[in-house]
Amino acid sequence: MSDRLGIWMIGALGGIGTTIAVGARAMDRGLVSHAGLATLRPEFEPLGLAPVGDMVFGGHEVRSSDFWSSAYQIAKLSGSIDLEIIQKLRPELEQMSSRIRPGTAIHCGQAIEGLTDEGHVRAHHGLRQAVDEIRADLAEFRAEAKVDRVVVVNLASTEPDVDHAALPQDAAELEAVLDGDQVERIRPSLLYSYAAFREGCGYINFTPSTAALCPAIREVAIKAGLPFMGDDGKTGETLVKSALAPMFKYRNLKVLSWQGYNILGDRDGQILAHKDNLASKVRSKDAVLQGILGYPLHTHVGIDYVESLDDRKTAWDFIHFEGFLDHRMSMQFVWQGCDAILAAPLVLDMVRLTDLAMRDGEGGALEHLACYFKSPIDVAEHDLHRQFHELGRYLASKGLAATP
């Protein structure tokens, strides 16, 4: 297929966006393996997914930076990106940065506002104009980068928790709100997702900012026959939880308490140190266990900012459970992963699979991508294995022979 695929990243120069860009280029140059990217396993070849090396990158960003500088900083601070690799990719990374546009910060909350750089936030002249400007960015990208299809991915910092009752309830009300200026009824993520669907793009909400795919927005997407999925990429502690909890169920071991603590530094941690932003996140992480186990239990999800860790997120989970003769036992795990490294390939996987859906004219929630999310839209199943089984069934329907 000769078509070209564009990825438009909201929060393009953050840790995940930068890691995606570096990874795509490094893979194309053969500098690194395919590790982390499930859709590059040989079993997926029959699907003819868009080659990672041909993808074109663009995006919005509210901070002053570029792919090279951001990659360099990550290489120095967390070490998750190899300095020699980006030294080799420097010209490409600098060139790719020309497709980054200033973002919007309307009603994004204090924590995120504190991160913005002058000249990188669009002036606010009404919601409708904000949306139109985002749409113009997307249209320009499509035209200049000569891409046939675009998938927009939300990688921006977690917004403060939103009151869903105050959000527009359907597409009509949404249009009315965009024509007014009640900024407190929206969040930036909603403006981006709206613009994406109006420009015919697929959309992946990788963050816990649930305004992005609220019912009114989904109505817009479904009417346009466009695919989307979210919320909140399942990368670390929650991934492990959803892989492990079924085991307790199989053995009828009663989980009494599942206590989890996440510590992390970097921008992500800084934002989550704000109570409002944290609320969005914790809600997303907390539903998983009861969903899988089928009974109420004591759970706790702590997230604390530890600056020195940078992006080397560390999680400690303590699981207290009761077995035969009501005897109590425990299990603990420590997860030490780099969030951007874990997240970046999931985004690439999903962009390729969203593109597949677009090529086949499939709109609506891509429920088969549930295994990638902490709070999968329209999917009640949190068991990672059953979620992955569903992905396998979907892919089989697309011609995949072997179960991946």
Window 296-335: residues binding its own copies (CB under 8 A): 298, 300, 302, 304, 306-309, 314, 316, 318, 320, 322-335
Contact 164, 285 (CB under 8 A): no
Identity of the residue, 263 or 282, whose beta carbon is nearer to its own copies in the bound complex: 263
Residue 156 in tokens = 């921006």
Identity of the residue, 129 or 257, whose beta carbon is nearer to its own copies in the bound complex: 257
Footprint on residues 242-301 left by its own copies (CB under 8 A): 243-244, 246-247, 250-254, 256-257, 259, 261, 263, 298, 300
Give the residue among 7, 8, 33 at the shortest CA–CA distance from 85. 33
Query: Which residues touch 269 (CB under 8 Å, ≥6 apart)?
Result: 263, 303, 304, 305, 306, 307, 309
Give the residue among 183, 176, 221, 230 at the shortest CA–CA distance from 199. 221
Footprint on residues 165-194 left by its own copies (CB under 8 A): none
Identity of the residue, 147 or 293, whose beta carbon is nearer to its own copies in the bound complex: 293
- Any contact of residue 346 with its own copies (CB under 8 A)? yes
Give the residue among 249, 202, 244 at the shortest CA–CA distance from 224. 202
Query: Which residues touch 232 (CB under 8 Å, ≥6 apart)?
Result: 205, 206, 207, 208, 281, 284, 285, 373, 374, 375
Contact 232, 346 (CB under 8 A): no
Can you tell me the distance from the alpha carbon of 301 to that of 297, in angstroms, rounded to the nearest whole number? Answer: 13
Stretch that binds its own copies, among 96-104, 110-118, 168-176, 380-388 (CB under 8 A): 380-388
Q: Which of 69, 73, 82, 224 binds its own copies (CB under 8 A)?
A: 82
The burial class, CB within 10 Å (0-12 / 13-18 / 19+), for 290 is middle
- Any contact of residue 90 with its own copies (CB under 8 A)? no
Stretch that binds its own copies, among 51-59, 174-182, 210-218, 344-352 (CB under 8 A): 344-352
Q: Which of 58, 160, 345, 376 binds its own copies (CB under 8 A)?
A: 345
Identity of the residue, 89 or 162, whose beta carbon is nearer to its own copies in the bound complex: 89
Phi, psi of 155 (to 5 degrees): -120, 10
Q: How far is the CB of 328 from its own copies (least distance, A)?
A: 7
Give the residue among 345, 354, 135 at the shortest CA–CA distance from 229. 354
Handedness of CA 108, 232, 171, 59 (dihedral sign): positive
Q: How far is the CB of 91 from its own copies (least distance, A)?
A: 19
Footprint on residues 13-52 left by its own copies (CB under 8 A): 19, 22-23, 26, 32-38, 40-41
Stretch that binds its own copies, among 57-65, 105-113, 148-156, 241-249 (CB under 8 A): 241-249
Identity of the residue, 254 or 359, whose beta carbon is nearer to its own copies in the bound complex: 254
Footprint on residues 96-135 left by its own copies (CB under 8 A): none
